[in-house]
Amino acid sequence: MHETITLATDTRETLVDITAQVKAAVERSGVRNGIVSIYAQGATAAIMVQENWDESVQTDVINLLRKLIPRGVWLHDAQDGNGDAHLKAGLVGPSETIPLIDGQLGLSTWQNIFFCEFDGPRADRRVVCTVMAES
């Protein structure tokens, strides 16, 4: 089963918690045991599993990536000024795969699923969830 989550972002770089939307898609699928693949469509976005306890970790992720990959120094910036966003998205990666165990996401207590925006704000971002059952 495939389902697309749509969302909008309001800043250039942010991590958006999409755990509830992924969980709802899994519930609608009826799959009890298997996997869910979460894939960010777009070359300047990514998916990350990260701590959910407080927002400091998400802020730290953004701050680290800003230090590692600064704006305005990449060849691609000559085209549309977002060379850093492409590199950040490539480094984090476009997808994650989560096990489904008895109808639940196989995340730990402190893990959530985040959509990583590196070139916002954007009115129409899409995340494809593919739910697959054990055979």
Query: Helix, strand or coil for residue 71?
Result: coil
Residue 132, domain member (yes or no):
no
Task: Read off the CATH number of the domain in which 24 is found.
Answer: 2.60.120.460
Mean pLDDT of the 4-9 span: 98
Domain presence at residue 122: no
Contacts of 135 (CB under 8 A, 6+ apart): none
Residue 51 lies in a domain: no
130 domain-assigned: no
Q: Structurally, how many domains does the chain consist of? A: 1
Indicate whether 24 pLDDT > 90.
Answer: yes
What average pLDDT does this structure show over 82-104? 98
What gap in Å lies between CA 47 and CA 16, rounded to an integer? Answer: 10
Q: What is the pLDDT of residue 57?
A: 95
**Dist. CA 20–CA 96, nearest whole Å:** 15
Domain that holds residue 96: 11-46+57-116
